[in-house]
């Protein structure tokens, strides 16, 4: 059984994408993060150090997105998961979605993106 600490619709303005215009102009990215863990010990002890911190999750994801430019959202998503696993040893699985509503695609869409699920050590 798992509990989930989550962040929904974290908005970050960054410059990822295949095209040079995306690097020049930048665009908004929206991120949802689910960190699967057990919250029981934190709840019983009422100790915030025993559970992932929402603010830290947001800071790590934002710093990762604002870091090295990537062509693929897949790359950005992998980096976010790696950084979250490194910071929070109590997290054993992450479900992450990055949306790119202003992607240069030749269709009328609300958003495009990538969704990944990663388990610690695999």
Instruction: Give the tokens for residue 108.
Output: 């009328």
100: annotated active-site residue = yes
Q: Count Cβ atoms below 10 Å from residue 121 Cβ, excluding itself.
A: 6
Concatenating the DSSP letter of every residue in 40-65 gives HHHHHHT-GGGS--HHHHHHHHHHHH
Mind telling me the catalytic residues? 100
């Amino acid at each position: 059984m798992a509990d989930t600490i989550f962040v929904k619709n974290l908005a970050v303005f960054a410059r990822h994408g295949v095209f040079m215009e995306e690097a020049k102009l930048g665009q908004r990215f929206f991120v949802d993060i689910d960190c699967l863990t057990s919250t029981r010990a934190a709840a019983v002890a009422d100790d915030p150090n025993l559970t992932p911190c929402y603010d830290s999750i947001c800071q790590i994801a934002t710093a990762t997105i604002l870091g090295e430019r990537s062509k693929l959202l897949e790359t950005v998503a992998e980096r976010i998961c790696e950084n979250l696993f490194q910071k929070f040893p109590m997290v054993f699985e992450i479900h992450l979605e990055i949306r790119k509503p202003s992607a240069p695609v030749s269709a009328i869409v609300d958003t495009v993106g990538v969704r990944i699920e990663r388990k610690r050590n695999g």
